[in-house]
Structure 1
Amino acid sequence: MSASNRGELLAGYGERVPVQELAARFNIHRATVREFARRAGYPSRAPEHSEQLRAEAARLYAKGLTLIQVAGQLGISDEAVRSAVVATGRTIRPRGRHPINL
């Protein structure tokens, strides 16, 4: 990545542009965006999703929806759902069909 592009990326990171957006803009992986920011001395960002959204994700998963179903319903990634579930002290179910408890 050129120095000018790296500068632009870091400026965006400093302005709180979402990491996913920066990764898409510069055609790099999200982890690469975070690594450039870390090397430049930026502090690690707090979770990008609100506590309310994370709680809702965990609640829907606990009702029986899959990670992908919850992600689709809330417009977040399945990894964000997984993180929310684990953060609430719950475990991820084994793969396979599970009844939905509505």
Structure 2
Amino acid sequence: MMQGGESAGGAAKEAAANLGASAWAGKEKTVAVVQEQVEKVKAHDDPAGQAAAEARKDERFEEVEAAKLDAIHHNAAVAKDGRAAAIIADDTEAQAAAAAAETEARAVDAEG
């Protein structure tokens, strides 16, 4: 039978994985901002170069955000599969317990 701690543990694992994905995305976005700033300084008198640097940063932000959302959806799917497996295990355990009880009841009936 599934205990409350098991589902809480699964939720904690999912939350930790999502936190990891968010932290990674934050780091990648910070790298993109720093790269943009360096490129803008190098192109200080070139408005087109500065605009290109900003466009590259924006594109990287979109890529990172999409990757983060993919990771979050993946984590949710893994957690859902885990919960489904636990429910199936609970059902199997319940069926085995019912069969054992029925077998024991038959044995008692046969003895007495």
Q: TM-score band (shorter)? A: under 0.3
Compare CA radii of gyration and give the structure with the larger one.
Answer: 2
Q: Name whichever structure is richer in helix by fraction.
A: 2
Larger RCO, structure (CA 8 Å, separation 6 or more): 2
